[in-house]
């Protein structure tokens, strides 16, 4: 019990003192996950919009694939990317394994289906109606699609934030393709695993608190936007 309490006290000290080791890990985590979600957004929002505007019966097969990938276990995603990037793999020559780039690729692989799928679901509810109104007012296809995205921005933002929450909190994929190398590919979740195993609870708890705060901030922002937007 006292050990746990001690861990908490020290964890808070680390956070308040802006401990460089802790900060370095937090920043790498954010860099990897934010870049991954930006790429997933750039690919997934247009694709999800396109699919969401099609009648459901025409996209049934694609839906099933996307929904399957949305629920993919991170370790499986990690394994797939590992096989591609390992020295014998098809992309082995790039030498990306155990780099932050590999972790970004793995997280894109995890978040792209989420952003695409949730965007599609959000668009499907009201998208065709908005598209028709836009076209009835003289919008060409590009402007009509943009109007749909703007009109359903809350749902799309929800898709993006859900994708971000998922990747920033996952361990399996980044562990496999990043290798948890100190100062290079160690992110919050993998550091927590390691430090817990070593019995260094203060850093593990400190990182856990940062992750929780991050989740709180992200979800509060989402909640406020959704309330404000309705």
Partner 1 sequence: MLVELTDIRKKYDKEVLKVDKLLFQKGLIYGIIGPSGAGKSTLLRIINLLTPFNSGTYQFMGRPLPSNGQERLKLQRKMALVFQKTLLFKDSVWNNVAYGLKARGFSRSEITQRVGELLEQVGLQELAFRRADTLSGGEAQRIAIARAVAFEPHLLLLDEPTANLDPGNIELIEKMIRQLNRTKSITVVMVTHNVFQAHRIAQEVIFIHEGRIVESGPTEQIFEEPLDPRTKAFVEGRMIY
Residues that bind partner 1 (CB under 8 A): 129-130, 132-140, 143, 147, 150-151, 229
CB of 56: closest distance to partner 1 in angstroms? Answer: 15
**Which one, 31 or 135, has the nearer CB to partner 1?**
135
- Calpha distance 142→148 (Å, rounded): 10
Among 79, 30, 31, 25, residue whose Cα is nearest residue 195: 25
**Which one, 78 or 127, has the nearer CB to partner 1?**
127
Among 221, 207, 112, 201, residue whose Cα is nearest residue 158: 221
CB of 229: closest distance to partner 1 in angstroms? Answer: 7
**Total length of the chain:** 230
Six-digit token pair at 124? 């499907």
Q: What is the rounded radius of gyration, in angstroms, for the C-alpha atoms of the chain?
A: 20
Among 4, 16, 36, 17, residue whose Cα is nearest residue 174: 36
Distances (CA, A) of 180 to 72, 78, 89: 21, 13, 21
CB of 230: closest distance to partner 1 in angstroms? Answer: 9
Among 74, 73, 109, residue whose Cα is nearest residue 190: 74
CB of 150: closest distance to partner 1 in angstroms? Answer: 8
CB of 52: closest distance to partner 1 in angstroms? Answer: 16
**Which one, 28 or 160, has the nearer CB to partner 1?**
160
**Which one, 39 or 50, has the nearer CB to partner 1?**
50
CB of 147: closest distance to partner 1 in angstroms? Answer: 7
**Which one, 90 or 140, has the nearer CB to partner 1?**
140
**Which one, 6 or 56, has the nearer CB to partner 1?**
56
Contacts of 133 (CB under 8 A, 6+ apart): none
């Amino acid at each position: 019990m006292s050990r746990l309490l001690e861990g908490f006290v020290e964890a808070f000290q680390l956070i308040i003192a802006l401990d460089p080791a802790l900060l370095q890990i937090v920043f790498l985590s954010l860099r990897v996950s934010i870049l991954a979600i930006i790429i997933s957004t750039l690919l997934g929002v247009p694709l999800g919009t396109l699919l969401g505007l099609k009648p459901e019966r025409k996209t049934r097969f694609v839906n099933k694939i996307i929904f399957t990938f949305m629920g993919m276990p991170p370790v499986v995603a990690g394994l797939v990317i590992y096989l591609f990037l390992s020295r014998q793999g098809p992309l082995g020559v790039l030498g990306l394994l155990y780099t932050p780039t590999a972790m970004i690729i793995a997280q894109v692989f995890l978040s792209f289906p989420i952003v695409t799928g949730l965007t599609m679901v959000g668009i499907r509810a009201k998208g065709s109606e908005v598209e028709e109104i836009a076209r009835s007012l003289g919008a060409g296809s590009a402007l009509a699609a943009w109007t749909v995205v703007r009109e359903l921005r809350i749902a799309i933002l929800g898709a993006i934030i859900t994708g971000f929450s998922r990747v920033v909190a996952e361990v399996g994929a980044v562990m496999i393709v990043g290798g948890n190398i100190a100062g290079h590919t160690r992110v919050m979740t993998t550091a927590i695993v390691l430090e817990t195993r070593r019995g260094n609870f203060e850093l593990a708890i400190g990182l856990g608190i940062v992750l929780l705060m991050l989740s709180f901030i992200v979800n509060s922002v989402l909640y406020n936007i959704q309330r404000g937007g309705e």
